Amino acid sequence: MIMMLSIPMRKRLIVLFTFIISITVLKAQDSVYAFSYFKGNGEDGLHLAYSGDGFIWIALNNDQSFLTPELSKDKLMRDPCIIRGGDGRFHMVWTVSWTDQGIGYAASDDLLHWSEQHYIPVMAHEPGARNCWAPEVTYDPGTGTYLIYWATTIRGRFPETQVDADDGYNHRMYYVTTKDFQTFSETKLLYEPGFNVIDASIVQHGKQWVMFIKDETREPAQKNLKVAFASQLEGPYTAASEPIIGNYWAEGPTAMKIDEEWVVYFDKYTEHQYGAVASKDLTNWHEVSEKLAMPPGIRHGSIFKISKTELERLLD
């Protein structure tokens, strides 16, 4: 009978059946997946969604903001990246402006009550720094160190990959380290792949560190996702792989191991929808976008885990 329905109706029924299955799974597990994201230009702040299986996502708080941005002249909260740190707390970094030389940081015990928002001036020492985009944070349990990293264009750097079509933007990945989010190392170059690069996201896989990146090359156009590897969180990282996604523009990768596969979620920003690819070996990738159901208007976020108790508080 389902096959006799229109394609839109069939899609709605499939999503509904999958959602019912997801709720059943949710009741039987101790933790769930959470997703931080922004909408529009990031003016209203932090949005959160949850999922039992990593594919069917439900917006929390009626898809209203959990935290309003206060930093910078633009007061934006774009690209919010949340992780659970070694102290058990949630730590978040985000893009505060299109043109500032710093990023935002806040912490929370429950994703509901947040610390004061702090501005970290990671590129203030570089007068030629044009921006600090899409910061992320990764925790190294072996050293108790947090790596905070982001994309910046510094005027005049890497002229060999500068093209007129990019309006002067020519990013590389930079980083600082910290153990307490109060004192930070000096800023260093994290990754120079030989092309304009943004949106790095790093996860640990066994003894390896895996960096997913966006190749931002405009001429000839790439605008796709690639992967690099390192034996230490601070690198050095290998040369970038071939693209791991199909023939479309994408950005904002975030990854989680679900069952036996690594799943990389990304923003198909020209199509105004989300996509995903999966792999068991981080080398051979296949598309799983057809399994995704995401909140409408979701943009560049991060995936992490929360307990069932934490989810219940958020639902309340």
**pLDDT at residue number 2:** 40
Average pLDDT over residues 256-279: 96
**pLDDT at residue number 37:** 98
pLDDT tens-digit map of 40-60:
999 999 999 999 999 999 999
Strand partners, 287: 277
Q: Assign 1 a pLDDT band (cuts: 50, 70, 90).
A: very low
**pLDDT at residue number 136:** 98
Strand partners, 152: 172
pTM score of the predicted model:
0.91
Average pLDDT over residues 123-143: 97
Domain-wise residue ranges, the chain: 31-306
**pLDDT at residue number 222:** 93
pLDDT tens-digit map of 88-113:
999 999 999 999 999 999 999 999 99
**pLDDT at residue number 20:** 53
Evaluate whether 169 touches 160 at the Cβ level (below 8 Å).
no
Return the higher-pLDDT residue of 22 and 245: 245
- The average confidence (pLDDT) of the chain is 92
Strand partners, 188: 175
Kindly tell me if the per-residue pLDDT of 292 is higher than 80.
yes
**pLDDT at residue number 152:** 98
Average pLDDT over residues 134-150: 98
**pLDDT at residue number 164:** 83
Evaluate whether 148 touches 91 at the Cβ level (below 8 Å).
no
pLDDT tens-digit map of 3-41:
444 545 544 554 554 455 445 545 557 899 999 999 999
The DSSP line for the chain is: -GGGS-HHHHHHHHHHHHHHHHHHHHHT-SEEEEEEEE-TTSSS-BEEEEESSSSB-EESGGG--SB----TTT---EEEEEEE-TTS-EEEEEE--SS-S-EEEEEESSSSSB---EEE-TTTT-TTB---EEEEEEEETTTTEEEEEEEE-BTTS-GGG--GGGTT---EEEEEEESSSSS-PPPEEEE--SS-EEEEEEEEETTEEEEEEEE--TTTT--EEEEEEESSTT-PPPPP-S--S-SS--EEEEEEEETTEEEEEEEETTTTEEEEEEESSSSS-EE-GGG-B--TT-EEEEEEEEEHHHHHHHH-
Average pLDDT over residues 299-312: 97
pLDDT tens-digit map of 160-171:
999 888 888 999
Instruction: Give me the CATH code for the 31-306 domain, please.
Output: 2.115.10.20
pLDDT tens-digit map of 201-238:
999 999 999 999 999 999 888 999 999 999 999 999 99
Average pLDDT over residues 285-300: 96
Residue 260, Ramachandran bin (φ over 0: left; ψ between -120 and 50: alpha; else beta): alpha
Q: What percent of the chain has pLDDT over 70?
A: 91
